[in-house]
Amino acid sequence: MITAEEILRKQDLRSTACRKFIINGLLKSDRAMSENELKGNFHELFDRVTFYRSLITLEDSGIIHKIVLNDNSVKYALNSHHHNENNLHSHFHCEECDEVLCLEGKTRFEAELPDDFVTHGVFVVIEGICADCINHTQSI
């Protein structure tokens, strides 16, 4: 399994404690995480500015991406598991448990743009209820 230090080294970034903390949190989870989920019980470990700057640096370097949900809350996920060139993919947001999953290759969104328009990103979030939540409500 790849380590936070290896990920940072590949991007020629300094291996700071905060950057490693964020990456390790995402490596341990198969789901996207909010800032509060990433901080967990260690909310006083890093000051707010350091944490936000680290998130921005990791996003700008292409290590993570942010997912903005319909309620404008933000979650973050690693880019390392996406194999397409531009990391374009959709996300699924469970309205019950608030989990967000990256849907690599399972959904596509194509739009015809006018001539001379350039796409920089496409963000698709599918809202619904995940299988775990459906199974949990059926067993009650």
Split into its structural domains, the chain has a count of 1
Other CB atoms closer than 10 Å to residue 25's CB: what's the count?
A: 18
Residue ranges of the alpha helices (H) in the chain?
4-10, 17-27, 35-39, 48-60, 131-138
Q: Counting Cβ atoms within 10 Å, is residue 1 exposed (0-12), middle (13-18) or buried (19+)? A: exposed
pLDDT digits (tens, 9 = 90+) for 41-88: 887 889 999 999 999 999 999 999 999 998 999 999 998 654 455 556
Question: Measured between alpha carbons, how far is 127 from 69 in angstroms, rounded to an integer?
Answer: 9
Assess whether pLDDT exceeds 90 at residue 140. Answer: no
CATH number where 103 lies: 1.10.10.10
Domain range enclosing 20? 4-138
pTM for the whole thing? 0.82
